[in-house]
Chains A and B, each alone.
Chain A
Amino acid sequence: MNTLHMAWMLARPSSSGRIVQLLTVGAYTMVSAMVLIVLGGAWSFTKLEGDAQGFYIPLAAFALVLLVVPLLVLGSSAAKLSARAQDRALSSLRLLGATGLQVRAVAVIQAAATALVGAICGVVLYLALAPAVALVKFQGEAIGTAIFLPPLATAAAVLAVLLLSVVSALAGLRKLVITPLAVATRRSVPMPSWMRAVIAIGSIVVIYTLFSKVGLLPVGLGVLITIVISGFGVGLLALNLIGPWLVAKVGTAKLKKAESPEQLLAARMILESPGGAWRQVSGVAMAAFVAVIGGSGAAMFAFSENDVAGSWEMYLSADVLTGVLVTLSISLICVAISAAISQCAGTLDRQDLYLGLHRLGVDLGVVNKARVKSVMIPALTVAIGFTVASAALVLPFASLALLLKPLTVATVLVVLLAGLLVIRLSLNIADPRRLLADHSGR
């Protein structure tokens, strides 16, 4: 039996395998569509008039940088799901006497094939969504056909998604060899130390002082943007230090207060891996950060609008707001999709345990509520925590914005809330009552 034949045999799934395969293809579809829409949006700025480009392209690049993290998280959850789907089949191949090399080849071929199907669907989805995205206005005009990437760029993006799937299939295999994928931990999890918080708060204080001084200096727009962007960079590093710590703190507090089975289980799930729980919702932190700082920025630009009537700068305030809303929405959608995918992977990973618990009389609804809470508690914590922290960071701007442009601030906050709602709704996909329905008796 040759390798291709084996890959083909394993590709014909059982009924539960089929759900997983559909989910995996769906995951790669979403990853590719998101990447293409983001790239298409950024690409459309190169079609703007010369003067405006100098301002818009750095901002678009900046938005791209911000979106890299949620997109990577999304890509890696898709890859993890695909690895889990393969796990059992591959272990049994090994038992049947396939060589390590054969197993590796089967895994890679399968992962790449799934990703390819997903990526092609993703291109279709991108083309289908593009007309809607093209309605977004910059410089007073809808993006229009500028949203469409050149074919070569599209192909490159598809290739990148394929590469991601292959790399993660190989990484997943290494895990399969070293430890089984099930994450039943043998030792208690080390808690993120308070040092993180100290370092993070320290850097926030530094940025804060820097920002409050910058306002007084008579510097040009370019310098200002550079300072703001590097401030963002340091801020993001600080976020990654403080995030796991914050999530662990809230998890501990929830554990102490837990009364119901689902509260107890959710708190323990969060504390099992505060870093993982944080990474899952780090896009929300980013969104909160962008919402507050970008939102304040948009409000600020509005003040100078009268001086610049007639030039490209007259659209600045509206466009910055649009950019903020778009970045916000995309990063929240990425969080929603990746949370749904990784919860599916987690549920399928625990399939035997959950169905067993159902036999013992534990309602799968309890398990579902716990899983939902284990995502939503960190998401809400991070949303509130980082909105407040970012507002403190740019307090003078933020309070001014709130006073003078309450509508802008309200819009941004509403989008943030809507994003949290979408995250909550997306978790319904991973509901074990539906996902494991085929197996839970009659």
Chain B
Amino acid sequence: MLQNSYVSNPVISARRLLRSYGSTHALNGIDVDIAAGTAVAIMGPSGSGKSTLLHALAGIELPDSGTVTLNLPGQAPVEVDGLGDSARTKLRREAFGFVFQSGLLIPELTAEENVAMALMVNGVPRTAAIARAVEALQQLGLAGMEQRRIGQLSGGQQQRVAIARAQVTGASVVFADEPTGALDSVTGSEVLDILMQCTVGMGKSLVMVTHDRQVAQRCHRILTLQDGKITADDSVVQGPRS
């Protein structure tokens, strides 16, 4: 039943995406809609084009051809592929949140400053940004660690900081590329819980690349890629457990 609902209310629609690197077809004609408020897992063997698809959907890299349309609630649709580099950069920092395998946290800054940075680059004054960052960190179980530098946090704690940063701006879509890939399974599943709570748990969409079927099973829907094509599109019956 989810299979139909995503089409009616897509936050992102991609059509006929093509991307090749030399003779490799990283994206070989992809059509996909991401329904608002759902979690979509992207699976597939290494080199099948998962990251490339994520980057195209998020406006990080442009496809060679095809369209990506963003339909944010209350806003006019945006053709992501028609935007220049700086417009896409702006779009990413305002509308999207990201969690990558390596946290991409700035080592000179404290945990709260890393989170606040996401707000500050959007023009939020420092004091307000720090206050919201502290609140976000505390909600993710990092109370007392706000002032620590990144090197003083464990891998799982660092990923929580990254999640706090992805969610603090109120982004309507969060993209995650193997967010638990560098963590042990226990820490990984804790981080995943938090990621689900912060996204679909709050009505946001989540697009997550993962190698782990158990992780994928927690999403509403699993896309399987093979050689740049979607070879399976399964809805998960029991839905996300968050």
Q: Which residues of A contact B (CB under 8 A)?
A: 183-188, 258-261, 264-265, 268-269, 271-272, 352-353, 356-363, 366, 440-442
B202 within 8 Å of A by Cβ?
no
Question: Within the complex, what minimum Cβ distance (angstroms) separates B127 from chain A?
Answer: 9
A-binding segment of B6-14, B37-45, B84-92, B135-143: B84-92
Note all chain A residues with C-beta closer than 8 A to B149.
Answer: 185, 187-188
B residues 146-173 with Cβ under 8 Å of A? 149-152, 165
Measured between beta carbons, the chain B residues less than 8 angstroms from A261 are: 117, 120-121
B62 to A, closest residue via Cβ: A442
Q: Is A268 a contact partner of B104 (Cβ separation < 8 A)?
A: no
Give A269 to B107 CA distance when docked, in angstroms. Answer: 9
The reply to whether B102 and A361 contact each other, CB–CB distance below 8 Å, is no
Q: List 20 additional contacts besides A184-B107, A361-B94; criterion CB under 8 Å.
A: A184-B150, A184-B151, A186-B152, A187-B152, A188-B149, A265-B106, A265-B117, A268-B109, A353-B104, A356-B100, A356-B102, A357-B104, A359-B55, A360-B93, A360-B118, A362-B89, A362-B93, A366-B121, A441-B61, A442-B85
| Residue B145 at the chain A interface, CB threshold 8 Å | no
State whether B89 touches A363 (Cβ < 8 A): yes
**Total inter-chain residue pairs, C-beta < 8 Å:** 85
Q: A185-B107, A187-B152, A360-B92 are in contact. Are A264 and B113 (CB under 8 A)?
A: yes
Which chain A residues lie closer than 8 Å to B58 at the CB level?
Answer: 359
Residues of B within 8 A of A (CB): 55, 58, 60-62, 85-86, 89-94, 96, 98, 100, 102, 104, 106-109, 113, 117-118, 120-121, 125-126, 149-152, 165
Q: Which residues of B contact A356 (CB under 8 A)?
A: 100, 102, 104
What B residues does A188 contact at CB under 8 A?
149, 152
Which chain A residue lies CB-closest to B175? Answer: A359
Taking CB atoms, residues of chain A closer than 8 Å to B126 are 258-259, 264
**Chain B contacts for A358, CB-based, 8 A:** 89
B92 CB to nearest A CB, Å: 3
List, in ascending order, chain A residues with CB within 8 A of B150's CB.
184
On chain A, the residues within 8 Å of B98 by CB distance are 359-360
Closest Cβ neighbor of A270 among chain B residues: B108
A-B pairs, 7 with minimum CB distance: A361-B93, A361-B92, A356-B104, A268-B108, A184-B107, A186-B151, A261-B120
**Which B residues are CB-close (under 8 A) to A441?**
55, 60-62, 85
- Cα of A441 to Cα of B60 in the assembled complex, Å: 7
Contacting residues, chain A, for B120 (C-beta < 8 A): 260-261, 264
Chain B residues in 8 Å Cβ range of A187? 149, 151-152
Cβ contacts A to B, 27 pairs, < 8 Å: A184-B150, A187-B149, A259-B125, A261-B120, A264-B109, A264-B120, A265-B106, A268-B106, A268-B108, A353-B104, A353-B107, A356-B100, A358-B89, A359-B60, A359-B92, A359-B100, A360-B92, A360-B93, A360-B165, A361-B93, A361-B121, A362-B89, A362-B117, A363-B89, A441-B55, A442-B62, A442-B85
> Which residue on chain A has the smallest CB distance to residue B162?
A360
CA distance A362 to B93 in the complex (A): 7
Query: A245 to B108, alpha carbons, bound, how many Å?
Result: 19
Interface centre among A259, A264, A360, A440 (most CB of B within 10 A): A360
Bound: A328/B94 CA distance, A: 47
The answer to whether B109 touches A265, judged by C-beta atoms less than 8 angstroms apart, is yes
| CA–CA, A229 and B138, complex, Å | 59
Query: Chain A nearest CB: distance from B218 CB in Å?
Result: 24
| Least CB distance, B78 to chain A, in whole angstroms | 14
Say how far A244's CB is from chain B's closest CB, in angstroms. Answer: 17
Question: Is there an interface contact between B151 and A361, defined as CB atoms closer than 8 Å?
Answer: no
Max chain A C-beta neighbours (<10 A), residue from B60, B92, B100, B108: B108
The minimal Cβ–Cβ distance linking A248 to chain B, given in whole angstroms, is 14
Bound CA–CA A366/B93 (angstroms):
13
- B residues less than 8 Å from A186 (CB atoms): 151-152
